Chains A and B, each alone.
Chain A
Amino acid sequence: MSLYAADGRVKLRRAQSLFMLTLCSLAALVGIFVLGLVLFFLAQRGLGHLNLKLFTVASGDGDGFAQSLRGTLQILAVACAVAVPLGIMGGIYQQESKGTFANTVRFLTDVLNGIPSIVIGIFVYAALVLPISQAFPGKGYSGWAGGVALAIMMLPLIMRTTEEMLRLVPSALSEASLGLGATRWRTMVSVVLPAARGGILTGILLAVARVAGETAPLIFTILGNEFMGKMDGQMDALPLRLFKYATDVDETHHQIAWAAALVLILMVLCLSIIARLSTRNRMQEDK
């Protein structure tokens, strides 16, 4: 009868298990609830203040953020121009080489990935903006500097995804190419890279999505501008304008900040969703 005697204890343990597992499920719900909370209020406050004028008028000329939107796109273009080729080459390097230096570089990529964005910002300020402003008074802050800062943040992300995507390419493919007498670089450029193209593109999209909303490094590099700025002078960017408007006292500015946040989040979320959906589809095909 000992089996039955233990029954009460088993019930207790089962109840405890059920209780703890419910807590775990609730924890996952909390995460989703918070996401919903943020997105709901963004939509609620942002949608009402969204209008065409925001996209066509600069802040200095009226209630808009046209100069910020243009600035963001320009700075992102510079960042991509620097980070994409360098990141892909770095990824190929990591895939192709072994040894102490390659391992050091791999470790440094992780380190770079963990450096706070504000440190990147103050680095670009210390390395580019400050020396230039000392040599040419009134110069220094520029869209170029902002682009460089964002590029440094994109670099480790692109390298990592490139390396991982290259690794997914079956080695039989490159062996076949090498076996036919192709050189290593030919094999990489004509066989391996095209096979990994989709994944690498996804990585680039995710990297862009991640830096598009960055503000901290831009405070030290582009400084901000109420009017249409030029790349070699003070510029504006959407996150920076959002920060400035959210923290000042003007009620109209708060409304523009909500609209800017909605535009920014739509940009970022679209990029991440496209990237993730395309990765998932490809991975399913592979199976």
Chain B
Amino acid sequence: MNTPSIHNAQSKSRLGDRVYLGVLSLSALILFLLIVGIAATLAWQSRLSIQATGFKFVTGSVWDDAAGTYGIWPFLFGTLYSSLIALLLAVPVSLGAAIFLAELCPKWLRTPITFLIELLAAIPSVVYGLWGIFLLIPFLRDRLMTPLADKHIPLLQGAGYGPSMLAAGVILAIMILPFITAVSRDILQAIPKAQREASYGLGGTKWETISRVVLPYSRSGIIGAIMLGLGRAFGETMAVTMLIGNQAAQTDSGISFNLFEPGYTMSSALANKFNEAQPGLSTAALIEIGLVLFVVAVLVNTCARLLVRYTGKSVNK
């Protein structure tokens, strides 16, 4: 439609719209550059460490500033292990709560309960940390660690003075619970009514309908929700830093499966070692931890989003 415009106003307005779209695209471009910039900056500023340590950065188990040795395997293990503990604790509770909200809860009660559970997500990480230091840790120590100290139960062993993998796992579980609940509930609610009615029609009880029809139907979405929770757990910093003990296990590999043993995660190591970092290699190594965390977070989140979106689409069909 390139006819010469008759109305002056129209050409003016086109200019306005061109500026408008230009400004909008610029804002989108800024966002695009920001993400690319995060990856590029982290990679550039950690180049010293990447060159010096190479792939040993991930597999090495000793972090020694004085010797210039940087290995994050104990931190990586701690991140995975504490997140795993958190998932084991949080997933059954979150799924139960999601099922309750989506299937059982009377309508008038749904909004207040959803709201309360979402408030759990609004509490800052550092406040959970404070609560953990002064209430959760003494509780775990007096009620669990001390009584079980000499019982030699597998996994339930270790230093037992409080700050531990277990404490970090419990606090992480509390922090990811509202996320998994909210996303799973949305997915459960998106499942067509006809599916349920068919099951009831065949004489299924409410639980049979949920466990054999609703849950299998929403499986990939729920896995996505759990992965979103996992992504959160990987990156959580303050509460974990305050509760995990910030000390690698005293083994050759620097890792231990004992729950009462203190540990480290990537983010807690980053937060904790930052004060003592010297300019140069030491700082570069810390920034490289950030780079690894970035890569892990992007991978986990991408998978999770794809799963959630895929389920949403197949459910809407």
Contacts and interface: CB of A to CB of B under 8 A. Distances in A.
Contact of B205 (A13, A119, A212, A246): A13
Given A110-B305, A115-B235, A185-B17, A239 B124 contact: yes
Contact of B117 (A31, A105, A111, A276): A31
Interface in B211-243: 211, 228, 231, 234-238, 242
B131 A42 contact: yes
B113 A243 contact: no
B186 to A, nearest CB: 14
B38 A115 contact: yes
Contacts, number: 264
25 contacts: A24-B99, A24-B104, A34-B177, A35-B117, A41-B131, A45-B134, A97-B28, A107-B305, A111-B35, A114-B231, A115-B297, A116-B235, A118-B270, A122-B290, A155-B31, A185-B20, A213-B123, A213-B125, A213-B126, A215-B124, A216-B271, A219-B274, A254-B134, A261-B131, A272-B122
B238 A122 contact: no
B250 interface: no
Given A17-B205, A247-B133, A280-B111, A112 B31 contact: yes
A175 interface: no
Contacts of B177: 31, 34
Contacts of B45: 126-127, 130
Contact of A21 (B115, B206, B274, B286): B206
Contacts of A112: 31, 34-35
A168 to B, nearest CB: 17
The SS class assigned to the A binding surface is helix
Contact of A126 (B31, B130, B287): B287
Interface in B226-280: 228, 231, 234-238, 242, 267, 270-271, 274, 279
A90 interface: yes
Interface string A7-45: 000000110111011011111101110110010011001
B111 to A, nearest CB: 7
B206 A17 contact: yes
Interface of A: 13-14, 16-18, 20-21, 23-28, 30-32, 34-35, 38, 41-42, 45, 86, 89-90, 92-94, 96-97, 101-102, 104-105, 107-112, 114-120, 122-123, 125-127, 130, 134, 152, 155, 159, 183-186, 188, 209-210, 212-216, 219-220, 239, 242-243, 246-247, 254, 257-258, 261, 264-265, 268-269, 272, 276, 280
Contact of A118 (B116, B133, B231, B235): B235
A90 B24 CA distance: 7
B312 to A, nearest CB: 13
Contact of A265 (B97, B111, B123, B134): B123
A169 to B, nearest CB: 17
Interface string B101-135: 10111000001010111111011111111110111
A261 B110 CA distance: 29
Contacts of A96: 21, 24
Contact of A32 (B116, B130, B131): B116
Contacts of A185: 16-17, 19-20
A21 B207 contact: yes
User: Which 10 A-B pairs give the minimum distances between C-beta atoms?
Assistant: A116-B235, A213-B124, A27-B96, A114-B301, A185-B20, A17-B207, A122-B290, A89-B27, A17-B205, A126-B45
Interface of B: 13-14, 16-17, 19-21, 23-25, 27-28, 30-32, 34-35, 37-38, 41-42, 44-46, 92-97, 99-101, 103-105, 111, 113, 115-120, 122-131, 133-135, 174, 177-178, 181, 205-208, 210-211, 228, 231, 234-238, 242, 267, 270-271, 274, 279, 283, 286-287, 289-290, 293-294, 297-298, 300-302, 304-305
Contacts of B290: 118-119, 122-123, 126
A156 B287 CA distance: 23
B309 to A, nearest CB: 10
A31 B120 contact: yes
A89 B24 contact: yes
A114 B122 contact: no
